[in-house]
Amino acid sequence: QKGLPTFTLQQINKHDNLKDGVWVCYKEGVYDITNFIKKHPGGSEKIMMAAGGSVDPFWIVFANHKKSEILQLLESMRIGNLSEEDVPQSNENSHDPYALEPVRNKVLKVNGKQPFCAEPPSKLLVQNFITPNDIFYVRNHLPVPLMDIDDYELEFAAESKTVKSIKLDDIRKYPKYSVVSAIMCGGNRRSEMAEAKPLRGLSWNVGAVGNAKWSGARLCDVLQNLGVNEEDYNHIQFEGMDLDPSGKPYGASIPISKAMDPRADVLLAYEMNDGDIPIDHGFPLRVIVPGVVGARNVKWVNRIIFSKDESPSQFQQNDYKGFSPSIDWDNVDFKKAPAIQEMPVTSAICYPLKDDQVPVQKNGTITVGGYAWSGGGKKIIRVDVTADHGKSWHVAELTAQDPNAKVGRHYAWTLWNLDLPVDKSAGQVEIWAKAVDSSYNVQPESFENIWNLRGFLCNAYHRVKINLV
Ligand code: MTE
Ligand code: MO
State the catalytic residue, choosing from 25, 137, 139, 461: 139
Band (354; pLDDT cuts 50, 70, 90): very high
Atom 9 of ligand 1 has which residue's CA nearest to it? Answer: 295
For the residues 249-275, what does the mean pLDDT come to? 98
82-113, pLDDT tens digit by residue?
A: 998 888 776 555 678 898 899 999 999 999 99
Q: How far apart are CA 406 and CA 377, in angstroms?
A: 9
- Quick check: helix, strand or coil at residue 219? helix
For the residues 265-284, what does the mean pLDDT come to? 98
- Residue 152 falls in the annotated catalytic set: no
Check: CB of residue 46 under 8 Å from CB of residue 314. Answer: yes
- Residue 320 falls in the annotated catalytic set: yes
Band (169; pLDDT cuts 50, 70, 90): very high
| Interacting residues of 11 by C-beta distance below 8 A, sequence separation 6+ | none
Band (38; pLDDT cuts 50, 70, 90): confident
Q: How far apart are CA 255 and CA 272, in angstroms?
A: 24
- Residue 15 falls in the annotated catalytic set: no
Give me ligand 2 centre to Cα 138, in Å: 9
Check: CB of residue 451 under 8 Å from CB of residue 197. Answer: yes
Band (246; pLDDT cuts 50, 70, 90): confident
| Interacting residues of 308 by C-beta distance below 8 A, sequence separation 6+ | 159, 233, 234, 235
133-157, pLDDT tens digit by residue?
A: 999 999 999 999 988 899 999 999 9
State the catalytic residue, choosing from 25, 117, 185, 350: 185
- Going by their DSSP bridges, the two strands 249-255 and 267-272 should be labelled as unpaired
The pLDDT of residue 307 is above 90:
yes
420-459, pLDDT tens digit by residue?
A: 999 999 999 999 999 999 999 999 999 999 999 999 999 9
pLDDT at 64: 84
Q: Which atom of ligand 1 is nearest to the CA of 141?
A: 6
Give the neighbor-by-neighbor strand order of the sheet with 29-32.
Answer: 6-7, 78-82, 29-32, 21-26, 16-17
Percent of the chain with pLDDT over 70: 99
362-404, pLDDT tens digit by residue?
A: 999 999 999 999 999 999 999 999 999 999 999 999 999 999 9
- Residue 409 falls in the annotated catalytic set: no
The amino acid occupying position 418 is L
| Interacting residues of 405 by C-beta distance below 8 A, sequence separation 6+ | 180, 379, 411, 412
Q: Which atom of ligand 1 is nearest to the CA of 320?
A: 14
ipTM of the complex: 1.00
pLDDT at 163: 97
Give me ligand 2 centre to Cα 244, in Å: 16
Instruction: List, chain by chain if needed, residues with CB within 6 Å of any ligand 1 atom.
Output: 136-142, 183, 185, 240, 242, 250, 280-281, 294-295, 297-300
Band (328; pLDDT cuts 50, 70, 90): very high
Ligand located closest to 280 CA: 1
Phi/psi of residue 351, nearest 5 degrees: -150, 140
For the residues 243-270, what does the mean pLDDT come to? 96
Band (189; pLDDT cuts 50, 70, 90): very high
Give me ligand 1 centre to Cα 297, in Å: 6
Could you tell me the pTM of the whole model? 0.91
Percent of the chain with pLDDT over 90: 87
Chain mean pLDDT for the chain: 95
pLDDT at 457: 98
Q: How far apart are CA 54 and CA 9, in angstroms?
A: 9
For residue 403, which of 389, 394, 395, 414 has the smallest C-alpha distance?
414
Q: How far apart are CA 377 and CA 407, in angstroms?
A: 8
Band (132; pLDDT cuts 50, 70, 90): very high
- Residue 139 falls in the annotated catalytic set: yes
CB atoms inside a 10 Å sphere around CB 362: 5
**Mutational test site, ligand 1, from 299, 302, 320, max ligand atoms within 8 Å of CB:** 299
